[in-house]
Amino acid sequence: MTALPANRRILLVSRPVGIPQPGDFAIDEAVQEPIHDGQFRIRNLFLSVDPAQRGWANEGSNYAPAVPLGSVMRALAVGRVVETAHADFPVGSHVYGWLGWQHYAVATPADILSQFTAPAAPLSCYAGILGINGLTAHLALNGIGRPRAGDTVLVSTAAGAVGSVVGQLARAQGCEVVGLTGDDDKARLCQARFGYHRADNYKTGTIDTVLDAAVPDGVDVFFDSVGGEILDATLRRMRTGGRIVQCGTASIATWNPAPVGLRNEREVLTRRLSWGGFVIFDHVAEFSGAIAELAAALRSGALAYDEDIRAGLDRAPEALVDLYAGRNRGKVLISLD
Amino acid sequence: MTALPANRRILLVSRPVGIPQPGDFAIDEAVQEPIHDGQFRIRNLFLSVDPAQRGWANEGSNYAPAVPLGSVMRALAVGRVVETAHADFPVGSHVYGWLGWQHYAVATPADILSQFTAPAAPLSCYAGILGINGLTAHLALNGIGRPRAGDTVLVSTAAGAVGSVVGQLARAQGCEVVGLTGDDDKARLCQARFGYHRADNYKTGTIDTVLDAAVPDGVDVFFDSVGGEILDATLRRMRTGGRIVQCGTASIATWNPAPVGLRNEREVLTRRLSWGGFVIFDHVAEFSGAIAELAAALRSGALAYDEDIRAGLDRAPEALVDLYAGRNRGKVLISLD
């Protein structure tokens, strides 16, 4: 085979507390090793930048082990198989999975979340709306939120890669959909583009005044990715029998030391709530059906989807900082030439 | 008709903060009024003394409105129909429902939770293990807890009127059942009589040391009636996909001012928990089937059940205080001659 170029990679070199900063990462170039039986080599095309990466970089138990210092930053990506020693992953097929912030990855089937030989949408979509973002929206909303026509559905991070899909899916199911975002432009975008009947910048008042105006009659389904005070305030506005989908806790900068807040068990009890945690990687068996549904909606124009694609591996750390600061307009991806 | 005797009643006369005290109640005797079409008069036989009565007596929204000052203390009871103007409730039939801490009640069908013409167990059982206590155990454990053989089930207030049934039902379903109680005698009783493989007096150490010993491998189902620190500590020991049944919050003396505690949304998320609130009165449609199952188990000897029956209406307020202090051995009832 032809000699492979060096593999440019982004390594995690220091352990951040809270949001990772560019200085926590370093770029290197590594010699590529031969692949073994059962492996295949992938040329990455679109690297995903995700809120969950903070948890993977931080110390301490999470729903995934911490990225070891000195190793490639864990990330999802879409790429093309360029060399193979596995019959199910032929050269030229495309995959989405744990490929890391790097140009090339050597993978086994355990690293792959989905595979597509005949893409039904632009390749970048498979790292976003047809990747964990859209899949989380679809499977968490329907699996835990169980919206019914007429329900009021409140979505935190309403304009985000997940929230923007939740809004549209809930609207299509006949719900009254209300979003919370961190700036006015995103609030407008939610209503103009992502199916929300109403969206509010929660920074324009106290959480209580914003929610009093946004959901005066309460909430049936809360799709929450932030936790913290927004969660506490919404719990106190849930209707009897309401469902809370806990998909993230982005508003909590650090869990060490353990933060305190209002006790919530009385709300769970007296409102007869059902509060469930959702981690997309538990649901890989449901992916192909959900991807087919989402891809059909995307092709038909029923689902709007925005991407914020930045070119070049070295822009990934800054893109992650921007994501936490809300300086993005749609799903953040890094494209590699 | 024969002149009816005066109705002896216990009135709520002051609004307690926290646990009601005997001084919050007064006894009176009221003249009984004629019944109207659709009503029926009941002679109460067994009055129930329940932890939930604190919430009904306290100010503030709960899952039931507060008992108005000067009116009969809200309570469940079993009684016999002694006069009727409703074809479905003939004289001599027995009912269980919202009959109050009093000798006589005038009721309509809306006040009745269950009716039984041919009792399948002693009448007092219909106010306990065949009433909301046993029904809560059965319907909450199976509806929200969904235990599977081999699961570790932890029960707070393990020796209580609900917990003592939960232990036995979970054991019968092949679970490893662990209880928490507030004294050593009750811990022994849980193991000797209520199906628990292990039971601990949580006051013998810190919550953490007790749970470290009691559930070293974590918890699949937490049947919780106390909330507070025991809940927080157990949340941090839940296994992935665990279920929390919130049936009460007895450890929290008052919700005004709002108490604070550890933030728990990260546990819900990362452990993929399902945390549900259960209020038995939502499930009246399921009662008759569940009563039949529980009565069959009781008759066959498969379910052990203890009663702490105290004679005389005027002992009810003190019995409620004793219940919160743990000075009871089984379901607390007041029998009326």
Model confidence band, residue B58 (pLDDT cutoffs 50, 70, 90): confident
Question: What is the phi/psi pair of residue A247, to 5°?
Answer: -105, -10
Q: Which of A227, A249, A265 sits opposite B249 (nearest CB)?
A: A265
Distance from CA of B270 to the nearest CA of A (A): 5
Chain A interface test: which of B268, B273, B274, B279 (most A C-beta within 10 Å): B268
B266/A252 Cβ within 8 A: yes
Q: Among all chains, which residue has been given the structure tokens 């370093």? A: A26
In total, chain B counts a number of residues equal to 337
Tally C-beta pairs within 8 A across A and B: 115
A246/B268 Cβ within 8 A: yes
Percent of chain B with pLDDT over 90: 88
| pLDDT tens profile B130-184 | 999 999 999 999 999 999 999 999 999 999 999 999 999 999 999 999 999 999 9
Reported ipTM: 0.89
Helices (H), B28-175: 52-57, 132-140, 163-172
Closest residue, chain B, to A246 (C-alpha): B269
Q: Are strands B176-181 and A40-48 parallel, antiparallel or unpaired?
A: unpaired
Q: Which of A259, A265, A266 sits opposite B263 (nearest CB)?
A: A259
Q: Which residues pair with B325 in a beta bridge?
A: none
Q: Is the pLDDT of residue B61 over 70?
A: no
Distance from CA of B242 to the nearest CA of A (A): 10
* Residue numbers in B near A249 (CB within 8 A): 265-266, 269
pLDDT score, position A18: 81
Exposure on the CB side of residue A143, measured as CA atoms within 13 A: 20
Provide the token pair at A208. Answer: 């209580």
Quote the strand ranges of chain A, DSSP E: 7-12, 25-30, 40-48, 76-84, 94-98, 104-107, 112-116, 152-155, 176-181, 198-201, 219-224, 238-246, 260-262, 274-277, 307-311, 331-335
* Residue numbers in B near A227 (CB within 8 A): 263, 265-266, 269
Cα distances (Å, whole numbers) of residue B120 to A32, A284, B116, B139, B273: 77, 50, 8, 20, 38
* Residue numbers in A near B271 (CB within 8 A): 277
pLDDT score, position A61: 47
Instruction: Give every residue of chain A whose pLDDT is below 70, as ranges.
Output: 1-2, 60-63
- Mean predicted confidence (pLDDT) in B111-117: 93
Closest residue, chain A, to B61 (C-alpha): A270
CA A182/CA B36 separation, integer angstroms: 60
Distance from CA of B337 to the nearest CA of A (A): 36
DSSP class per residue in B175-243: -EEEEEESSHHHHHHHHHHS--SEEEEGGGS-HHHHHHHH-TT-EEEEEESS-HHHHHHHHTTEEEEEE
pTM of the model: 0.90
